[in-house]
């Protein structure tokens, strides 16, 4: 399931965020890619120990904590520290699937990548190309969102970033280990959670809402990987 998070980062946070990225020290993106992915990766990335990256990562993690939709869609057990990339003219990232396991640089533990998230940090009218292209059973989805918006999708997805043909594209990206490993089960739980929230807003029968909420939590209890 592909889920858009509108204005995950508020407009007032984007200008200082981009100013930090524009003055940061970048390295070749291949340095953090696996052997296969490095052959199709041509972009720039902040070093994992970059002070600028850590500062902006804290900002992103705080925004995720405030996003009820992100929490409901991913049911996070662990969130890897956000990373940041830059695509200039001619740079791209060919089709690949993200690594299954990452070593967390902060928690000293291995984290399974169940869910991928990309946050667009550049206004779409400031660059050309650079779409995030995700393949699933329904075909290809070309994603180019307003600055501050994010896209959440299964880490098992084959995806790429189209070449940038003008301007500069900045983005944040990271992976989440979910309490629910299976994407189809996460999707079902999200649909049920959203339906419950809608019934609450409509002041539906409290007994029915309580019953549905109980079913939701019992499904989580059955499926949770803890």
My answer on whether 169 and 216 are in the same domain is no
**CATH code, domain with 25:** 2.60.120.620
My answer on whether 162 and 85 are in the same domain is yes
Number of C-beta neighbours around residue 141 at 10 A:
16
My answer on whether 191 and 122 are in the same domain is no
The sign of the torsion formed by the CA atoms of 78, 189, 156, 85 equals: negative
Stated pTM of the model: 0.95
Name 86's bridge partners.
Answer: 44, 170
What per-residue confidence (pLDDT) applies to 204? 97
My answer on whether 195 and 92 are in the same domain is no
Six token digits for residue 195: 């339906």
Q: Please, are residues 21 and 84 in contact by the beta-carbon 8 Å criterion?
A: yes
Q: Which residue has the tokens 């998070």?
A: 5
Note the pLDDT tens digit of each residue in 185-213: 999 999 999 999 999 999 999 999 999 99
Number of C-beta neighbours around residue 11 at 10 A:
10
Note the pLDDT tens digit of each residue in 94-132: 999 999 999 887 767 899 999 999 999 999 999 999 999
Six token digits for residue 60: 């992103």
Q: How far is it, in rounded angstroms, from Cα 17 to Cα 53?
A: 10
My answer on whether 52 and 115 are in the same domain is yes
Please provide the average confidence, as pLDDT, over all residues in the chain.
95
What per-residue confidence (pLDDT) applies to 107? 65
My answer on whether 109 and 190 are in the same domain is no
My answer on whether 112 and 84 are in the same domain is yes
Domain ranges, residue 208 = 183-223
What per-residue confidence (pLDDT) applies to 93? 97
The secondary structure of the chain in percent helix, strand, coil, rounded to multiples of 5, reads 35, 30, 30
Number of domains in the chain: 2
Q: Please, are residues 115 and 208 in contact by the beta-carbon 8 Å criterion?
A: no
């Amino acid at each position: 399931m592909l889920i858009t998070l509108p204005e995950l980062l508020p407009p007032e946070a984007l200008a200082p965020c981009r100013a930090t990225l524009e003055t940061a020290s970048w390295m070749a993106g291949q340095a953090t890619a696996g052997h296969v992915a490095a052959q199709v990766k041509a972009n720039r990335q902040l070093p994992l120990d970059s002070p600028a990256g850590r500062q902006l990562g804290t900002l992103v993690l705080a925004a995720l904590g405030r996003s009820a939709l992100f929490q409901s869609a991913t049911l996070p057990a662990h969130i890897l520290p956000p990373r940041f990339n830059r695509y200039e003219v001619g740079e791209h990232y060919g089709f690949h699937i993200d690594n299954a396991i990452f070593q967390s640089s902060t928690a000293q533990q291995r984290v399974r990548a169940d869910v991928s998230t990309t946050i667009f940090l550049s206004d779409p009218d400031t660059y050309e190309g650079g779409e995030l292209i995700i393949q699933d059973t329904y075909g290809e989805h070309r994603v180019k969102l307003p600055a501050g918006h994010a896209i959440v999708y299964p880490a098992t997805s084959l995806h790429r970033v189209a070449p940038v043909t003008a301007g500069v594209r900045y983005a944040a990206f990271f992976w989440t280990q979910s309490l629910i490993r299976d994407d189809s089960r996460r999707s079902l739980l999200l649909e049920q959670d959203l339906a419950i929230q809608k019934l609450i807003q409509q002041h539906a029968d409290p007994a029915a809402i309580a019953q549905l909420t109980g079913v939701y939590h019992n499904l989580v209890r059955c499926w949770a990987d803890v």
